[in-house]
Structure 1
Amino acid sequence: MRYQLLGRSGLRVSEVCLGTMTFGTEWGWGADKHESFKIFETFASAGGNFIDTANRYTEGSSEKYVGEFIESDRDHWVLATKFTLKDRNNDLNYAGNHRKNLMRSVLSSLKRLNTEYIDLLWVHLWDNTTPVEEVMRGLDDLVSRGLVHYVGISDTPAWIVSQANTIADFRGWNAFAAIQFEYSLLQRTPERDLIPMARALDLAVTPWGTIGGGALTGKYLRGEAGRVPDDSARRNEHSSLIAQAVVEVANELDVTPAQVAINWTRHRNQVMIPIIGASREKQLIDSLGCLNFTIPDAMIQRLNEVSKIELGFPHEFLKSDGVKEEAFGGLFEKLDNHRG
């Protein structure tokens, strides 16, 4: 296991993060406590120190399990959890990003986790209601009180993240050090704005869904059952072509398709820390194999080509040769020649 700095912070985290949404069986799937501990132990034995949970995962069981598992060596672990999602039905203030829910949710998570502090607190998703200033000031207060060490944000538009960190920087508040969103060969739309923004603002990216809910393992090509419904975008004709390409690359490299899919997300010129989850120990062992090889450039290009997306406006517009010539009259070429 190698380690990376978490974005603009000095925090050292393992190059993959253990996702624990599968810890607990309250949602009708996942791992019981015994299997969850085996998964945790395997990750620890591999050198992992970064673990991710949330207040709502398996109705609180995930946080309880994680808190118990790390208790004997709490300071070793980089513990991340989230707030935003409701944890009481029919009560408006038990959900959202506002200060009341933020403080209440964090105190509840601390109790379930049986810890005095959270290393990384994620805003789970943007509620489109709470002002940015209220969110950032509330998070900064938690850091100032020592209840939280670092803050991150998940599943939020790039312009909001940029606004939030700009406000935090100018007001001397703690800013986001990392961002989390779905990213895989089946979901490359973050390349339009989220990934370039993360690079520009020096945010670590912790992508989830890197194997497309299992679709990129090739299981559905083999006719196996799974939790992804037949009418899902992860199982349409185009997705099947991508999955087939992943299987072919895996066969050529003598690795598994899951390892190829996870590893592909790591082949970026910025900090990318995939979140890997499992409901069985052997699944995690397989996923950890992504750290043992590098995908050759030619194969990366094959995967990129079969999964390519249109970046849309203004990206496609600005990179077109006609616009460059009409607007800048060869300026870029002259600048390139000058640099040369």
Structure 2
Amino acid sequence: MKYRLLGRTGVWVSEIALGAMTFGGKEHPVYSTHGALGQDEVDRLVGAALDAGINFVDTADVYADGESEELLGRAIRQRRRDVVLATKLFAPVGSGPNDQGLSRLHVMRALEESLRRLGTDYIDLYQIHNWDHLTPLEETLSALDDAVRQGKVRYIGCSNLAAWQVSKALGISALHNQAGFVANQIHYSLLSRDAERDLVPMAEDSGVSLTVWQGLVGGFLTGKFDRGGVSTDQDSRRARNGFDFVPFSEETGFEVVDVLRTVAGRHKVSPARVALAWLLAQRGVTSVIIGARKMEQLQDNIAASDLLLTERDLAELDEVSRPPVAYPNWIQEGFAPARIPSGNRA
């Protein structure tokens, strides 16, 4: 396993992270289709992941109504020091009007509940799960800073925020000498490269880590689906869900999968491993979160850390998946060469 720095913290995290959304929820109307793993299965997967060198594990209070945190907490109890533990808050965790969002009231309440469920007295990376348009950002950041100062949280991060929102938060934190975001958890894949427009440049400029969720797009990039919508693995999450959580063009998707299969054939590995290795080769990416249900999936995904794609591989995958350049990026890129004297150009 290889390790990369978490922002500018000096903390090393595995470039493959274990996601816990498949933990728990057997009777849940939504999470029962995501995995619904019980304690024994969770113990085996977590143990195998830690033994393979993974030290970065991510969950959220909303996953299976908190059961994911409970199962994960029991699984890591004897190895807590080996884990950089991350969880998230924002989504509804109850029926009350204040059981969601990023108010100081909910941040403090959610933190205490996550600590209880995880069976720990501190969380390494506490992340807001989305943007709260009702709560002033200053209130949320102040509450998170208090949690850091109390020792209940080591670092704070965010997920699903736009680049301007992350930048605004960093500015507020710096202005008030408060703890700032060190990581942003984003969706990024060969079928969703929107992050390259603003999130990746922002992360590189500010020193914020990018951790990636749904890098396999619900299993579509495993190559187990044909153009008729039939899966070779009817037990896969996508086949069982019956819907697409992440929007993408299926026509483009199958073109990408065709190239993934070609590259995978050259390396004699799975298309999934290639898709994850592609993400690890991209600018700004610190860690890719995998959400396995089976041991063979876990082992194959972990092996992406050892797969080095060639320039030919990367060029072919870039060509088939490259999105159009958005404004103002295209005009800035177009004028950039004019600022460099001709004799200095490579």
TM bucket (normalised to shorter chain) is over 0.9
Q: For 2:224, what is the secondary structure of its paired residue?
A: coil
Cα distance, 1:230–1:146 mapped onto 2, change above 3 Å: closer
Once the two structures are TM-superposed, the CA of residue 229 in structure 1 deviates from its matched residue by: 2.9
Q: Normalising by the residue count of structure 1, what TM-score does the alignment of the two structures yield?
A: 0.93
Please name the residue that 1:28 is paired with. 32
Cα distance, 1:231–1:150 mapped onto 2, change above 3 Å: closer
> Is 1:92 matched up with 2:97?
yes
AA of the residue aligned to 2:10 = G
AA of the residue aligned to 1:294 = L
Q: Distance in 2 between matches of 1:202 and 1:36?
A: 33
Cα distance, 1:261–1:106 mapped onto 2, change above 3 Å: same
Q: Distance in 2 between matches of 1:269 and 1:125?
A: 23
Please name the residue that 2:331 is paired with. 317
> Is 1:38 matched up with 2:44?
yes
Please name the residue that 1:259 is paired with. 273
CA shift digits 1:49-84 (9 cap, x unpaired): 110011011111110011111111222211101111
Please name the residue that 2:215 is paired with. 210
Higher deviation after alignment, 165-174 or 182-191: 165-174
Please name the residue that 2:69 is paired with. 63
Q: Report if aligned partners of 1:153, 1:180 keep a CA contact under 8 Å in 2.
A: yes
Please name the residue that 2:14 is paired with. 14
Higher deviation after alignment, 1-10 or 150-159: 1-10
Please name the residue that 1:181 is paired with. 186
> Is 1:191 matched up with 2:196?
yes
CA shift digits 1:131-173 (9 cap, x unpaired): 1111111110000000100000000111010011112112210
Q: Distance in 2 between matches of 1:183 and 1:65?
A: 27
What does 1:328-339 correspond to in 2, within 5 Å?
A: 331-334=338-341, 337=343
What does 1:201-240 correspond to in 2, within 5 Å?
A: 201-221=206-226, 223-224=230-231, 225=234, 226=239, 227=241, 229=243, 233-234=247-248, 236-240=250-254
Q: Distance in 2 between matches of 1:179 and 1:21?
A: 18
Cα distance, 1:172–1:67 mapped onto 2, change above 3 Å: same
> Is 1:171 matched up with 2:176?
yes
Once the two structures are TM-superposed, the CA of residue 7 in structure 1 deviates from its matched residue by: 0.6
Q: Report if aligned partners of 1:64, 1:113 keep a CA contact under 8 Å in 2.
A: yes
Q: Normalising by the residue count of structure 2, what TM-score does the alignment of the two structures yield?
A: 0.91
Between the aligned residues of both structures, percent identity stands at 37
Q: Distance in 2 between matches of 1:339 and 1:211?
A: 38
Q: Distance in 2 between matches of 1:298 and 1:4?
A: 25
Once the two structures are TM-superposed, the CA of residue 98 in structure 1 deviates from its matched residue by: 1.1
Q: Distance in 2 between matches of 1:252 and 1:183?
A: 24
Once the two structures are TM-superposed, the CA of residue 5 in structure 1 deviates from its matched residue by: 1.5
CA shift digits 1:11-30 (9 cap, x unpaired): 22112110000011332231
Q: Distance in 2 between matches of 1:6 and 1:105?
A: 24
Q: Distance in 2 between matches of 1:217 and 1:208?
A: 15
Q: Distance in 1 between matches of 2:333 and 2:314?
A: 22
Cα distance, 1:116–1:317 mapped onto 2, change above 3 Å: same
Please name the residue that 2:160 is paired with. 155
Q: Distance in 2 between matches of 1:184 and 1:109?
A: 29
> Is 1:292 matched up with 2:292?
no
Once the two structures are TM-superposed, the CA of residue 235 in structure 1 deviates from its matched residue by: 6.1
Please name the residue that 1:131 is paired with. 136
Higher deviation after alignment, 2-11 or 295-304: 2-11
Q: Distance in 1 between matches of 2:176 and 2:7?
A: 20
AA of the residue aligned to 1:284 = L
Cα distance, 1:233–1:118 mapped onto 2, change above 3 Å: closer
> Is 1:47 matched up with 2:53?
yes
Runs of 4+ in structure 1 off by over 4 angstroms are none
Q: Distance in 1 between matches of 2:190 and 2:32?
A: 28
Provide structure 2 residue ranges, at least 5 long, that are not aligned to the other structure.
none
AA of the residue aligned to 2:32 = G
AA of the residue aligned to 1:28 = S
Higher deviation after alignment, 230-239 or 281-290: 230-239
Once the two structures are TM-superposed, the CA of residue 339 in structure 1 deviates from its matched residue by: 7.7
Provide structure 1 residue ranges, at least 5 long, that are not aligned to the other structure.
none
- Count of aligned pairs: 331
Once the two structures are TM-superposed, the CA of residue 34 in structure 1 deviates from its matched residue by: 1.6
